[in-house]
């Protein structure tokens, strides 16, 4: 283990097996290693942005076992927002200082492709300065299959209708066996990666998530990170890695053992160590809780996402995020934990 610690201190690249064996290190050594990488990149800065999540529809043709957001037997309340409703939300968000609209929907096969694209066109025309982060690779894959366009054609449509960057959702876990079990029929791992590759080739940026704490193994997590690291070597278009902690309520995934805080923090630190070509590790307070997200700053995380204002996907599964967070409190919490709250735009330029 001493050799591995030395290797990390010497900034050498970590293999899959080494990444897995890092879980056997004690929490404090892992924290020290991850923190020194974080501090070298960002010192004590902790980034956040003022954003608003919009989830325009929850009608979904796919059934992911972990999902509590889509309308189904456990959540029979279907909705699809009108353009006026979406415009009202955006208006309110802009009034409250939002610089980014993070728009993620379900895979709705009733509304048509234009409905998805018109949302972006309408918002971009009304608010040309707002950054639109929208459509996960899973949604792009759905729209492509449903409407007979290639991934590239959907991406070109997104860009011409005003989408600025892509969120990291839909990655879940790349291991094909686990993926088949938790979200059969959804975008494949290779397609998820290839859609981001195509997006990056257009000179655009995106994020990458990993859903963990369900039925995956530690090896599956590190394998997920390494597949992302390989693509980042090639394309360089990822901004941040976001490990999402599985929320257990109102869904169909039977999970016996939930994660301990130690396991969450270790995963955060290991991601900071393995993903040597990612600038940012985001501790998404929505799924980790704000308290653990603050502690994660000492385990490699340099970004706490944002105030969110409203969130429907993770809160449906039990996260305490439905109404976002107050900005003053958010900044105070970062400051009181010894870090410097640093407002950023969606592409990590400091504001």
Question: Which residues are near ligand V47 by CB under 6 A?
Answer: 66-68, 104, 136, 167-170, 172, 207, 209, 211, 242, 244, 246-247, 251, 284, 287, 305, 313-314, 317
- Rounded to whole angstroms, the Cα distance separating 184 from 63 reads 8
Structure tokens at 88: 């009202």
Structure tokens at 339: 């870090």
Of the pair 104, 130, the CB lying nearest ligand V47 is at 104
Which one, of 153, 86, 75, 154, lies nearest residue 119 by Cα? 86
For the bound state, the minimum distance from the C-beta of residue 214 to ligand V47, rounded and expressed in Å, comes to 8
Of the pair 104, 215, the CB lying nearest ligand V47 is at 104
- Rounded to whole angstroms, the Cα distance separating 124 from 167 reads 17
DSSP assignment, residue 165?
A: B
For the bound state, the minimum distance from the C-beta of residue 286 to ligand V47, rounded and expressed in Å, comes to 7
Of the pair 8, 89, the CB lying nearest ligand V47 is at 89
Number of Cβ within 10 Å of residue 351's Cβ equals 9
Of the pair 68, 293, the CB lying nearest ligand V47 is at 68
Residue nearest to ligand V47 (CB): 169
Residue 79 CB contacts under 8 Å (≥ 6 apart), including other chains: 57, 58, 59, 71
What 3-state class would DSSP assign to 282? strand
For the bound state, the minimum distance from the C-beta of residue 311 to ligand V47, rounded and expressed in Å, comes to 8
- Rounded to whole angstroms, the Cα distance separating 37 from 272 reads 7
Structure tokens at 23: 């879980």
Of the pair 25, 174, the CB lying nearest ligand V47 is at 174
For the bound state, the minimum distance from the C-beta of residue 165 to ligand V47, rounded and expressed in Å, comes to 8
For the bound state, the minimum distance from the C-beta of residue 263 to ligand V47, rounded and expressed in Å, comes to 15
- Rounded to whole angstroms, the Cα distance separating 222 from 8 reads 16
For the bound state, the minimum distance from the C-beta of residue 13 to ligand V47, rounded and expressed in Å, comes to 25
Of the pair 161, 287, the CB lying nearest ligand V47 is at 287
Residue 344 CB contacts under 8 Å (≥ 6 apart), including other chains: 47, 48, 49, 303, 350, 351
Of the pair 14, 292, the CB lying nearest ligand V47 is at 292
Of the pair 199, 284, the CB lying nearest ligand V47 is at 284
**Ramachandran area for residue 318 (φ above 0: left; ψ -120 to 50: alpha; else beta):** left
User: DSSP of 135-153, one letter per residue?
Assistant: --HHHHHHHHHHHT--HHH
For the bound state, the minimum distance from the C-beta of residue 21 to ligand V47, rounded and expressed in Å, comes to 27
For the bound state, the minimum distance from the C-beta of residue 190 to ligand V47, rounded and expressed in Å, comes to 17
Provide the terminal-to-terminal Cα distance of the chain, rounded to the nearest Å. Answer: 41
């Amino acid at each position: 283990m001493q050799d591995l610690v030395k290797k990390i201190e010497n900034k050498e690249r970590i293999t899959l097996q080494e990444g897995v064996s890092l879980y056997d290190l004690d929490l404090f050594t892992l924290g020290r290693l991850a923190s020194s990488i974080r501090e070298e990149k960002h010192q004590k800065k902790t980034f956040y942005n003022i954003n608003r999540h919009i989830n325009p529809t929850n009608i979904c043709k796919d059934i992911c076992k972990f999902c509590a957001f889509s309308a189904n037997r456990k959540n029979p309340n279907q909705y699809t927002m009108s353009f006026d409703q979406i415009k009202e939300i955006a208006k309110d968000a802009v009034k409250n200082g939002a610089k980014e609209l993070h728009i993620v929907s379900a895979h709705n096969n009733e509304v048509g492709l234009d409905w998805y694209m018109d949302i972006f066109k309408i918002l971009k025309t009304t608010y040309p300065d707002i950054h639109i982060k929208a459509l996960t690779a899973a949604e792009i894959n759905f729209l492509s299959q449903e409407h007979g366009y290639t991934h590239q054609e959907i991406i070109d449509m997104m860009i011409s209708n005003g989408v600025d960057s892509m969120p990291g959702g839909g990655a879940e876990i790349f291991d094909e066996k686990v993926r088949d079990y938790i979200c059969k029929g959804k975008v494949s791992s290779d397609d998820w990666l290839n859609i981001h590759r195509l997006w990056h080739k257009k000179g655009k940026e995106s994020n990458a998530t990993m859903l963990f704490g369900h039925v995956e193994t530690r090896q599956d997590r590190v394998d997920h990170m390494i597949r992302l690291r390989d693509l980042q070597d090639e394309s360089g278009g990822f901004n941040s890695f976001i490990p999402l902690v599985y929320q257990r309520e109102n869904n169909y995934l039977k999970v016996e053992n939930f994660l301990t805080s130690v396991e969450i923090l270790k995963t955060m630190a290991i991601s900071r160590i393995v993903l040597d070509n990612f600038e940012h590790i985001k501790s998404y307070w929505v799924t980790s809780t704000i308290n653990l997200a603050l502690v994660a700053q000492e385990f490699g995380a340099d970004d706490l996402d944002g105030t969110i204002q409203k969130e429907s996907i993770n809160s449906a599964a039990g996260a305490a995020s439905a109404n976002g967070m107050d900005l003053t409190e958010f900044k105070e919490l970062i400051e009181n934990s010894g870090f410097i709250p640093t407002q950023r735009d969606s592409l990590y330029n400091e504001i």
